[in-house]
Amino acid sequence: MTIQTLQVGPIMTNCYLLCDENAKVCALIDPGDDAARVEKLVEQSGCALRYILLTHGHFDHISAVRPLLERYPDVPVYIHRNDTAADRGGDLLFTPVGEKNQRYYQEGDTLPLGGLTIRVLETPGHSEGSVCLLVEGQHVLFAGDTLFRCSCGRCDFPGGDYRKMLESLARLASLEGDYRVLPGHDRETTMDYERRVNPYMRQGTAR
């Protein structure tokens, strides 16, 4: 397993490429902008793109989806249904792509990627449909805008809910063992570190 990171767009969103280098397949997580750079990352990996996976529907995590589908027209795009709107998208909701590509995932769903398994955790708070993506057996968590290093995603956008954010952070804290945490912005961290020092996670676990 390899993970590569690009910071894309005006607010430096982390776009991740998760590869099973043995099976030569990969998944893009949160291609938020700069489609040409993202495409180059995929091509340089030597892996076939199997999925585009979105942790939530905000513009800075989804803006390269449609340009990438022009290059990869058969790739499914996954998002939680609560972060979509059929008749409006704008900055805060994802307007679904065509039926050929659009897929929805929810709590407990799993996606195979070669020898890897990606499991979906519903973690509302930043948005109604926020999810984290856990790579089973690898202790890797793609946290979107739920958990940041020493912080968490803001909850003052439409669909945000601070109480739900604290519940989601408590849920992540309860995962067994340590995890490499790959957030939607800023640098990566670990779950053990966040359990110790993150004031929002500590508030969530104290409830």
Domain count, the chain: 1
CA atoms of 110 and 119, how far apart (whole Å):
4
**Which residue type is seen at 159?**
G
Q: Residue for token digits 């776009």? A: 15
CATH number for position 162: 3.60.15.10
In this structure, are strands 151-152 and 147-148 parallel, antiparallel, or unpaired?
antiparallel
pLDDT of residue 86: 67
- Average pLDDT of span 21-33: 97
pTM value is: 0.96
CA atoms of 122 and 6, how far apart (whole Å):
24
Judged against a pLDDT cut of 80, whether residue 47 lies above it is answered with yes
Mind listing the pLDDT tens digit for each residue in 50-90? 999 999 999 999 999 999 999 999 999 999 999 998 655 56
Mind listing the pLDDT tens digit for each residue in 159-178? 999 999 999 999 999 999 99
Residues of the domain holding 98: 2-206
CB 96 within 8 A of CB 57: no
